[in-house]
Amino acid sequence: MGDDAAASGAVAPTQTPTPTPSPTPLWSPGSPDLLIHADNLTAMRRMPDAIMRMAYLDPPFNTGRAQLRRTTSHSRASAPDGESAPTPTTWQGFGGESYVRTVEALTSYDDRFADYWAFLAPRLQEAHRLLDDRGTLYLHLDYREAHYAKVALDALFGRDCFLNEIIWAYDYGAKSRSRWPTKHDTILVYVKDPDRYLFDSTEVDREPYMAPGLVTPEKAARGKLPTDVWWHTIVGTTSREKTGYPTQKPVGILRRMIQASTAPGDWVLDPFAGSGTTAAAARALGRRSVSIDSGADAVAVIERRLAIAATRL
Ligand SMILES: C[S@@+](CC[C@H](N)C(=O)[O-])C[C@H]1O[C@@H](n2cnc3c(N)ncnc32)[C@H](O)[C@@H]1O
């Protein structure tokens, strides 16, 4: 349109902006078990709030250390490179200012933890958002970071949301002679709402008493409820459940978590899915699952193990 049209008072056709199509939802209530090949932060951000009853996170030890060091070693709240940096407001944690102060204190002491936490915190925040108000989060950690992570999680979730510290003890492999051999992992358990969370101990597989002679024969036959110390063997080289994936966890420990913290038909999320142990245990118990992994080798193992095809983002 030129000056003539303007002079004549003609109205210029307005350019309506093309709406940006919102990405197709990854998940819907009727979805089958999902396997997503992607960075878990990207994938979780594409899912609606409060759809999961349980989340199990088994992140690799000190992920992202090399690429994160530069950005996080002196700051309280930097996001990993390439990820949208949370503003100080969104980075407060559910515990508010105390979270920032706690993480500041922890990270000034050990910048390896700063790197690790900068990777993990936004993913924990997403997992928290995805949990419904009866939901439970299990965070599986190495003994080297468990103590820091517990303090940081208390501040992130709120101290009253802490439920348990589970020790998974196994006895396998070489043993140090210069200190007590370290043969356990720590699993921190936090609930979304301490007044509403689901915990059904009646559904949990019972285990033999250590001293069956001290209880009645009926009790001995029934077995006892597991405590917060879980003796369970690792996936052995000749085990039937072995997939060949190096960090595969045993189905038996996931079974316990799923039995206690979900009901049949509930959704279980594993954003660091690896060999798909969570999904395999969930399926065997009649629960539904979302597995996410960024590694092509892991995704190939899960596709075979669960006979499902991955969605690639
Ligand atoms: C310790 S393994 C999980 C093992 C799993 N629990 C099992 O039983 O097989 C951690 C997994 O996280 C995946 N991973 C690491 N960073 C990721 C990210 N940003 N997004 C998605 N997956 C990631 C790795 O590819 C690896 O398979």
Question: For each of the chain's 313 residues, which pLDDT tens digit applies?
Answer: 344 444 444 445 556 666 665 667 789 999 999 999 999 999 999 999 999 999 999 999 865 444 333 333 333 334 444 454 444 344 567 767 778 888 888 877 777 788 888 899 999 999 999 999 999 999 999 888 898 899 989 988 999 999 999 999 998 888 899 999 999 999 999 999 999 999 999 999 999 999 999 999 999 999 999 999 999 999 988 899 999 999 999 999 999 999 999 999 999 999 999 999 999 999 999 999 999 999 999 999 999 999 999 999 9
The reported pLDDT for the residue numbered 8 is: 45
Q: Relative to the CA of 254, which ligand 1 atom is closest? A: 8
What pLDDT is attached to residue 21? 59
CA angle 76, 273, 58 (to 5 degrees): 45
Contacts of 153 (CB under 8 A, 6+ apart): 124, 139, 162, 188, 190
Domains and CATH numbers, the chain: 31-312 (3.40.50.150)
3-class secondary structure, 297: helix
* CA–CA gap between residue 101 and residue 111 (Å, rounded): 15
Which pLDDT belongs to residue 100? Answer: 82
How far apart are alpha carbons 133 and 223 in whole angstroms?
31
Residue 105 backbone phi and psi in degrees, to 5:
-65, -45
Distance 61 CA to ligand 1 centre (A): 10
Which atom of ligand 1 sits closest to the CA of residue 123?
A: 19
Whole-number Å distance between alpha carbons of 216 and 256: 25
Position in ligand 1 atom list of the atom nearest CA 270: 6
pLDDT of residue 68: 38
pLDDT at 83: 53
CA of 127 to the centre of ligand 1 (A): 15
Q: Which residues line ligand 1 (CB under 6 A)?
A: 39-40, 58, 60, 63, 245, 247-249, 272, 274-275, 277, 292-295, 298
Q: Mutation test of ligand 1: which of 115, 272, 311, 312 has the most ligand atoms closer than 8 Å to its C-beta?
A: 272
Give me the pLDDT at residue 4, please: 44
What pLDDT, on a 0 to 100 scale, did the predictor assign at position 188?
A: 98
Q: Give the sign of the dihedral formed by CA 241, CA 243, CA 249, CA 251.
A: negative
Distance CA 23, CA 118 (A): 26
How many other CB atoms are found less than 10 A from the CB of residue 86?
A: 15
Please tell me the distance between residue 58's alpha carbon and the centre of ligand 1 in angstroms.
7
